[in-house]
Amino acid sequence: MSDKPETLGDRVARIRTLRKISQQALAEEVGMTQQGIGIIEAGGSNHPRKLRDIARALNVSEAFLLGETTEEEASSEPSLISLDEAEQVTMPADE
């Protein structure tokens, strides 16, 4: 097990995968490109402009994504992706 702390990108990728949401679907919900989500997940941005929207879409708090808390607290705002929509989104095997 690695002692490396989990980054914002790690958290976004882990929760997105856990929720079975593709990078493309998340990007569309928050008004970004799939490449933009990929850059965040790869560690290319430590405080993206769309952080609030990403947190809301993943149903976690901004504080969790930023590593300020270890609790996967739900955001106070409703998710941008409904459960029905999330169930319809399929992830390609390579993501």
Q: Is the dihedral of CA 38, 27, 82, 61 positive or negative?
A: positive
- pLDDT value, residue 76: 47
pLDDT in tens, 27-57: 999 999 999 999 999 999 888 899 999 999 9
Question: CA 29, CA 24: separation in Å to the nearest integer?
Answer: 9
List, as own/partner pairs, every contact residues 14-18 make where C-beta atoms lie below 8 angstroms and the sequence separation is at least 24, other chains included: 15/58, 15/60, 15/72, 16/41, 16/58, 17/91, 17/95
- SS3 sequence of 15-47: HHHHCCCCHHHHHHHHCCCHHHHHHHHCCCCCC
DSSP state of 83: H
- Mean pLDDT over 71-81 rounds to 54
Instruction: Flag whether the pTM goes above 0.95.
Output: no
